[in-house]
Amino acid sequence: MEKLEVFEVVKPQGIKGELKVRILADGFFSVSNLKNIYASNGEICAIKAVRDAGGGFAFLTLNGVLTRNDAELLRGKIYYANKTEINKEKSAYFIVDLIGLTVYDWQNNKLGTVVDVMQSNVDMFKIKSETGAFLYVPHLKKLQPKIDVNSKTITFLSDELKDVVYYEN
């Protein structure tokens, strides 16, 4: 059972044990239906309530966290959820599933292997070529990326790739 980081406790919220947490997943939708999360020591924590706080944050109430003092002890803690229980759009992928995929261009030339996905307004694939150099490719619809996690490949079907790829010196 693979677990992914979903929350980082920022601070207590109020006096009844509620927590303000930074959402480490793809947004509130990703965590809105979670019933349980896991502390770093593997302890299961049942969720009583979670509500959107906007800006990538949520308010979280856990069973057994009843006071502000209880909540204060959790400041800075990271919580995990089972990957299969995290909501995602059908066309979305977990970054962990993209790392290690082999990348090809529209002519089936191997560009390298995905080593990271940097998140921003436009996500950026960081690809390590066989020579050890890094190149960066934005995840743009116009590049027609064909992502196949099962065959462990990403193929950019558009020749516009040559216009947007960035090569690191």
Report the CATH number of the 3-85 domain. 2.40.30.60
- Whole-number mean pLDDT of the chain? 93
**What is the chain's length?**
169
pLDDT (tens digit per residue) in 63-81: 999 999 999 999 999 999 9
Percent of the chain with pLDDT over 70: 99
Architecture of the domain delimited by 95-167:
Roll (2.30)
CA distance 6 to 37: 8
41 has pLDDT over 70 = yes
CA distance 152 to 97: 9
163 has pLDDT over 70 = yes
CA distance 57 to 44: 21
Residues of the chain with CATH 2.40.30.60: 3-85
120 has pLDDT over 90 = no
